[in-house]
Structure 1
């Protein structure tokens, strides 16, 4: 297995309904790894973990429809979980990745679980980070307030898309928005402003109609019934202070998936991979070694100790 992360390729994959999906492949070595983002994200949560994994593995990062550098289909109603899973299957085919370890953060956890339900033969393992098995609006901040408010929010955005985009752009482009998010939702002592700012920059540029339609699909999706049928090694990573997807959801998920392991980061929030990169890297490394028999001998670089910065590429 090669330890080189020098291989890099990026491109767009045009799918049958007209959407062009951005992707990049970096590094080499088996098993291949796919990183699935959260809603409204274009990869910011993988800032440290992605280059770390690419030292030993071929790592695929990609953008959902209407996210990041990917476009929307000609029929803009074709947004949602099932289309996302079909897109991922086509992405694996296009990049020649037959079986992979699926990593999911936030909404990416639902994508990974649903993909396993539909294409189990393409999945060799799951790493589910700070996410839910489904219906996330039911548990956001341990409240149903957002679920009750969402239908009105969606109607407003769908009826006034241009005005909504201007308002969201103006709000999210401010330093106040970033600082409020850090103060209210993240661990201020652990996360750097520069790690969070790309998320707000992307969200400010995103089509709000795509956002609410994707969120609507998430809100209606539930993989609870599938959890007992997950038949691959699974690691669940949770933040003890996560308000978006409270830690008890991850505990339930780990209990219900046969043989799943749980790593709870007590002071971690929804951005735990950015707040405790060394801890997450070390735990993922151990999971891949012990559960998927990934060799980490002298042919590969030694793993960084917890807390170390990612390797320069």
Structure 2
């Protein structure tokens, strides 16, 4: 992960503690790479891309409220998109990062786009991977089933949080759950089982109330109206077999964001950074060099 590594917590005024890592040596005034996770994730998707970037860039990894090692806010109303963007701005201030290239995976794409809307001067570029501009319940599996079921799911979790947590933990801790997910949702010929273990472990241990409240906020959010106003170089990466965020959403973003580049991997699913590690690293390196004038990490693989 490079010669430099630091991890710490940023304490906020409301008592929440945001966990973060800094990787890679500082590079003067060069923008850092900031990695924004998906919902229910604590960084599993960046397993390969983070150390790749850290060879030649400053990299900030962080956990949203109630995710990973970041604490659950005392007031559970203080969850969702607006708090997430504010937390990232404060985190960049605290770590001395004036500008950044924002990487978003899954719902992290929404975070990156909304952060640009609110803090455009702090964003040097965008890399949007397997995500959407918003309203994820409207497009999950290209069906409205989850959207219709979500109100009942949320009420049940809110009313019975402890039984819900035990049930989620019991189901997600089984090998069967992982194998079904790999078989149904992912490209089993390209994904490594060990790359998915951290995701299942984290999701099994997460507070289900935090999950549903964060999802509710993201489901009600859209940055679609902002896409024509994105004024920084943007790379969009999508998977042709992605059922969580169908590839048509990547095409829509590429169409509506001025000058955006689009990389589509026909056999890729929602975990493209893990399935197509070499291709993603090569394209990201070329993007950072060609569009932003930043040197790619040494030893780029083709």
Q: TM tier, shorter chain?
A: over 0.9
Q: How far is the alpha carbon of 1:31 from its aligned partner?
A: 2.5
Alignment-derived partner of residue 238 in structure 2: 238
SS in 2 for 1:69: coil
Alignment of 1:196-235 (within 5 A): 196-235=196-235
Shift of 1:93: 0.4
- TM-score by structure 1 length? 0.94
The corresponding residue for 2:171 is 171
Rounded Cα–Cα distance in structure 2 between residues aligned with 1:168 and 1:295: 44
Secondary structure class of the residue paired with 1:72: coil
The 1-side partners of 2:276 and 2:178 are apart by: 19
Rounded to whole Å, the distance in 1 between the matches of 2:289 and 2:295 is 6
Deviation at 1:302, TM superposition (A): 2.9
Equivalence map 1:62-141=2 (5 Å): 62-141=62-141
**Are 2:31 and 2:98, in contact at CA under 8 Å, matched by a contact in 1?**
no
Q: Deviations over 1:260-308 (max 9, x none)?
A: 0000011000000000000000000000011001134xxx6231x23xx
Aligned to 1:148: 148
Aligned-partner Cα distance in 1 for 2:77–2:112: 22
1:27 pairs, out of 24, 27, 31, with 24
Q: CA deviation at 1:5?
A: 1.6
Matched residues in 1 for 2:127 and 2:144: separation? Answer: 27
For the 8 Å contact 1:18–1:72, the answer to whether it is kept is no
CA RMSD of aligned residues (A): 0.9
Task: Please give the alpha-carbon distance, in whole angstroms, between the structure 1 residues aligned to 2:248 and 2:293.
Answer: 29
1:45-83 deviation per Cα after TM superposition (whole angstroms, max 9, x unaligned): 000000000000000000000000000222111000000
What SS does the corresponding residue of 1:39 show, helix, strand or coil?
A: coil
2:6 corresponds in structure 1 to 9
State which drifts further: 67-76 or 221-230.
67-76
- Give yes or no for contact 2:289–2:295 (8 Å, CA) kept in 1: yes
Does structure 2 retain, via aligned residues, the 8 Å contact 1:130–1:239? yes
C-alpha deviations, 1:163-182, integer Å up to 9, x for none?
Answer: 00000000000000000000
Cα distance in 1, alignment partners of residues 280 and 295 from structure 2: 19
**CA contact 2:185–2:269 (8 Å) conserved in 1:** yes
Consecutive unaligned residues in structure 1, runs of 5 or more = 307-313
Taking structure 2 as the reference length, what is the TM-score of the superposition?
0.98
The alignment covers a number of residue pairs equal to 299
Cα distance in 1 between the residues matched to 2:77 and 2:130: 28
Q: 2-side partners of 1:73 and 1:181: how far apart?
A: 30
Secondary structure of 1:209's counterpart equals helix
Aligned to 1:286: 286
Where has structure 1 moved over 2 Å in runs of 4 or more? 28-31
In 2, distance between residues paired with 1:220 and 1:166? 27
Contact 2:56 2:295 (C-alpha < 8 Å) held by counterparts: no
Equivalent residue, structure 1, for 2:265: 265
User: CA offsets, 1:6-60, max 9 Å, x none?
Assistant: 1111000011111101000000233310000000000000000000000000000
In structure 2, the partner of 1:311 is: none
